[in-house]
Amino acid sequence: MRTHTKKSQSELTPQEALDFLKEGNQRFVGNLRANRNLLNQVNETSDGQFPFAMILSCIDSRTSVELIFDQGLGDVFSARVAGNIVNEDILGSMEYAIKYAGSKLIVVLGHSKCGAITSACNHVRDGNITALLHKIKPAIDKETSTSKENRSGSNEIFVNNVTELNVIHALEEIKERSDIIMDFINEGKVKLVGGVYNVESGEVIFFED
């Protein structure tokens, strides 16, 4: 598979960029990999990079986006933070990716069995972790289907619901806090989507905005 160039990146539509990720995840689930010469890609990207997507995911060691989407060097920007939460630095990175580096797609990717989500559901408070987990609280508050006595990290259904709602909340924050991203979306130049990675099956389920 060829390394992306400025020309190939510029000719991509946002939907085609998303399709690249979907096809890559299908290969990953099928235990297949595109034929790449990574050393060649090191040389081909030494003078510049043209990633087609910007992906925000969790720091979880099982969720390396280059692996689960079967992408090579120079294909995607990857921002990782526990709980895939949005902050000013993440927003600035996303804005750079689309406005100055030409990316066509922004993805917020949560995952099952997330330690940050579970800890937030358990109301963990410890050092700087407290402030990070507080950013997940809006998703917990939006989860209204679970009874009061079952709202903890030991309830797998509750945690899964919060995981999805946390991705949706991140998408909403991106739209509310970044005029640059919204302008690109409204002009059809960029697509913003969310998804959840299943750590048991390797499959990513997208829910497009």
Residues across the chain: 209
Query: Does 209 have pLDDT greater than 60?
Result: no
Helices (H), the chain: 6-11, 14-29, 38-44, 65-68, 88-99, 115-121, 129-134, 137-142, 156-177, 179-186
Tell which wins on pLDDT, 48 or 100: 100
Closest CA to 53 of 66, 39, 42: 66
Tell which wins on pLDDT, 161 or 50: 161
Query: Does 130 have pLDDT greater than 90?
Result: yes
Tell which wins on pLDDT, 74 or 95: 95
Cα distance between residue 25 and residue 68, in whole Å:
6
How much is the average pLDDT of 166-194?
98
- Chain mean pLDDT for the chain: 94
Question: What pLDDT is attached to residue 76?
Answer: 95
How much is the average pLDDT of 47-70?
94
Query: Does 208 have pLDDT greater than 70?
Result: no
Helices (H), 50-155: 65-68, 88-99, 115-121, 129-134, 137-142
Tell which wins on pLDDT, 35 or 23: 23
Burial 97-108 (b: 16+ CB within 10 A, else e): bbeebbbbbbbb
Give the chain's domains with CATH numbers.
6-112+174-208 (3.40.1050.10)
pTM for this predicted structure:
0.94
Structure tokens at 163: 């995981």
Tell which wins on pLDDT, 11 or 82: 82
Query: Does 50 have pLDDT greater than 90?
Result: no
- Measured from the Cβ of residue 11, the count of other Cβ atoms closer than 10 Å reads 10
Contact predicate 190/98, CB 8 Å: yes
Per-residue model confidence as pLDDT tens digits over 63-75: 999 999 999 888 9
Contact predicate 108/205, CB 8 Å: no
